[in-house]
């Protein structure tokens, strides 16, 4: 099939897990014999007058990188204007394609505008993967102006889609609760992982204090502050335990204040965003990877940690609760429960042999349940089903028809 993937992240522009997801999906689809074009964007701040839209082939995938226009808009200060401008640029790049896809596949609300417009232009089915929701990120609340706008765009994208994909069953339930009933068919297809990029290493007995690791974005919904709050309790029974925090985000300054508040500032090391080799080294060196998310549609970092053999201590929320089996592939605890988090960490540190067994089981599970070739094959099935189904009349055409004056 001819597939047009639309995403606001694609290498070299990678903000979080979305960019890696789309990259692995695109290359796996191409490897399976599908003709894949990815429509994404050039790096932030790129001047379109000196850096026109890119068009390159990488790993069997044709990548169209639309220039930001105007490049003066800043995501952090005017997100909706920036998103609209990005969408217009993507639409122009898509219309210039001398190629017609069989299906358009959108990834999240930021590309709703270009995805819907290009699906209508080519008159092909629109498939959307919903990786997260604004309501979920804010514990069910969409009270602010920007949040309400994002929620409205998400609703628009979901309702315009001919098929929906989520990365976990809990995410599918969330979409139905927020935007249903009457939505198109939804299919759960888990994220995958290229385990070969994350070499496995067995744990060895540590001489000295335990080392915990958090990896991911520094946002409130990731619950990093709970790991910091649990650290004093953990250090009472395991003196000297440290917490390394790898990643960046909007909450870093606040998290530093939390470390001061709980009097563990010297035991918490903020190392910022690290490259792949550094992250693997950190995972190999830690006694447990701690992922205390309050909201997590999937949690691909849990798979990456599992691939390296790092014992997992995660909240049981959303996709994390499906990716990690408590007592078999790691230890889980209820989100926001600092005491339970501390207990789970202590259990891992107190019984390194059991932690090793769980780590080995987690690594073996990746090969059967989270392979990218399987993800691509299941996604292609969704494309084929959407292509076979009848596409509803475009809403735009209906509006135009009703707007025509009655000439008798």
pLDDT tens, position by position, 34-60: 999 999 998 876 655 555 557 889 999
pLDDT for 206 equals 82
Look up the domain containing 359 and give its range: 196-369
Average pLDDT (294-309) is 89
Tell me how far apart the alpha carbons of residues 107 and 26 are, in angstroms, rounded to a whole number: 12
Most confident of 75-89, 112-126, 319-333, 358-372: 112-126
The runs of H, that is alpha helices, within 192-275 are: 224-237, 252-261
Which pLDDT belongs to residue 394?
Answer: 43
* Average pLDDT score over residue span 102-131: 96
- How high is the pLDDT of residue 397? 39
Q: Which one-letter DSSP state was computed for residue 197?
A: G
Question: What's the structural domain count of the chain?
Answer: 2
Q: Is the pLDDT of residue 70 over 80?
A: no
206 lies in the same domain as 167? no
Contact status, residue 190 vs residue 206, Cβ threshold 8 Å: no
Residues 201 and 344 in one domain: yes
b/e per residue 287-298 (b: at least 16 CB within 10 A): bbbbbbbbbbbb
Examine residue 165 and state whether it is found in any structural domain, yes or no. yes
Residue at 407 is within a domain: no
Reduce the DSSP state of residue 259 to 3 states and report it: helix
Quick check: is 129 in a domain?
Answer: yes
User: What is residue 264's DSSP assignment?
Assistant: -
Please tell me which residue, 76 or 118, carries the higher pLDDT value: 118
Same domain, yes or no: 52 and 126: yes
Percent of the chain exceeding pLDDT 70 equals 91
Residue 379 and residue 355 in one domain: no
Same domain, 356 and 379: no
Q: What is the pLDDT of residues 346-356, one digit of tens each?
A: 999 999 999 99
Could you give the percent of the chain with pLDDT greater than 90?
A: 65
- pLDDT, average across residues 163-169: 92
Residue 33: inside a domain, yes or no? yes
204 shares its domain with 229: yes
Do 20 and 103 reside in the same domain of the chain? yes
Residue at 408 is within a domain: no
- Residue 227 reports pLDDT greater than 80: yes
User: Domain check: are 159 and 62 in the same one?
Assistant: yes
Residues 213 and 164 in one domain: no
Q: How many CA atoms lie within 13 A of 223 on its CB side?
A: 25
Residue 403: predicted pLDDT: 38
pLDDT of residue 212: 98
**Is residue 330 over pLDDT 80?**
yes
Please indicate, yes or no, whether residues 177 and 241 belong to a single structural domain of this protein.
Answer: no
Is residue 223 included in any domain, yes or no? yes
Say if 11 falls within a structural domain: yes
Which of 99-103, 223-227, 364-368, 404-408 is the least confident region?
A: 404-408
Identify which has the larger pLDDT, 256 or 299: 256
CATH of the domain at 240: 3.40.50.2000
Which of 45-59, 227-241, 356-370 is the most confident on average?
Answer: 227-241
Distance CA 53, CA 69 (A): 10
| Statement to judge: residues 249 and 168 lie in one domain | no
Residues 178 and 203 in one domain: no
Q: What is the pTM of this model?
A: 0.79
- Domain annotation covers residue 286: yes
Sequence-separated (6 or more) residues with CB below 8 Å from residue 252 = 218, 270
Average pLDDT over the chain, rounded to whole?
88
Residue 390 has pLDDT above 60, yes or no: no
What CA–CA distances, in Å, run from 331 to 35, 297, 306, 320, 357? 41, 18, 12, 11, 12
pLDDT grade for 280, boundaries at 50, 70 and 90 = very high
- Interatomic CA distance for residues 393 and 398, integer angstroms: 7
* Token pair listed for 147: 């949040």
Higher pLDDT, 43 or 401: 43
């Amino acid at each position: 099939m001819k597939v047009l993937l639309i995403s606001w992240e694609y290498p070299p522009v990678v903000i979080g897990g979305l960019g890696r997801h789309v990259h692995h999906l695109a290359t796996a689809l191409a490897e399976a014999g599908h003709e894949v074009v990815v429509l994404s964007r050039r790096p932030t701040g790129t001047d379109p007058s000196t850096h026109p839209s890119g068009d390159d082939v990488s790993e069997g995938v044709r990548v169209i990188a639309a220039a930001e226009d105007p490049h003066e808009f800043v995501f952090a200060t005017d997100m909706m204007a920036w998103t609209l401008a990005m969408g217009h640029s993507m639409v122009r790049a898509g219309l210039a394609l001398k190629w017609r896809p069989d299906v358009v596949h959108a990834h999240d609300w930021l590309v709703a505008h270009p995805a819907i417009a290009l699906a209508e232009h080519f008159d092909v089915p629109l498939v959307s993967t919903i990786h997260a929701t604004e309501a979920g990120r804010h514990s069910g609340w969409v009270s602010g102006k920007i949040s309400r706008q994002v929620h409205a765009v998400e609703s628009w994208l979901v309702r315009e889609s001919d098929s929906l994909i989520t990365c976990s069953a809990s995410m599918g339930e969330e979409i139905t609760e927020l935007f249903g009933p009457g939505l198109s068919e939804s299919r759960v297809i888990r994220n995958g992982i290229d385990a070969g990029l994350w070499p496995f290493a067995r744990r060895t007995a540590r001489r000295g204090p335990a080392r915990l690791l958090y990896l991911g974005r520094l946002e409130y919904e990731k619950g990093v502050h709970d790991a910091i709050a649990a650290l004093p309790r953990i250090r009472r029974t395991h003196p000297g335990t440290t917490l390394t925090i790898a990643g960046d985000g909007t909450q870093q300054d606040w998290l530093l204040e939390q470390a001061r508040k709980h009097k563990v500032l010297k035991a918490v090391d903020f190392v910022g965003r690290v490259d792949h080799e550094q992250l693997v080294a950190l995972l190999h060196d830690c006694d447990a990877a701690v992922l205390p998310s309050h909201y997590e549609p999937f949690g691909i970092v849990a798979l990456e940690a599992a691939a390296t053999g790092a014992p997992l201590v995660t909240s049981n929320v959303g996709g994390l609760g499906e990716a990690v089996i408590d007592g078999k592939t790691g230890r889980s605890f209820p989100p926001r429960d600092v005491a339970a988090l501390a207990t789970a960490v202590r259990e891992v540190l107190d019984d390194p042999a059991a932690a090793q067994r769980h780590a080995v089981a987690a690594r073996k599970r990746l090969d059967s349940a989270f392979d990218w070739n399987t993800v691509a094959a299941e996604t292609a099935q969704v494309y084929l089903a959407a292509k076979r189904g009848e596409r509803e009349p475009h809403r735009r055409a209906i509006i135009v028809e009703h707007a025509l004056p009655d000439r008798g």
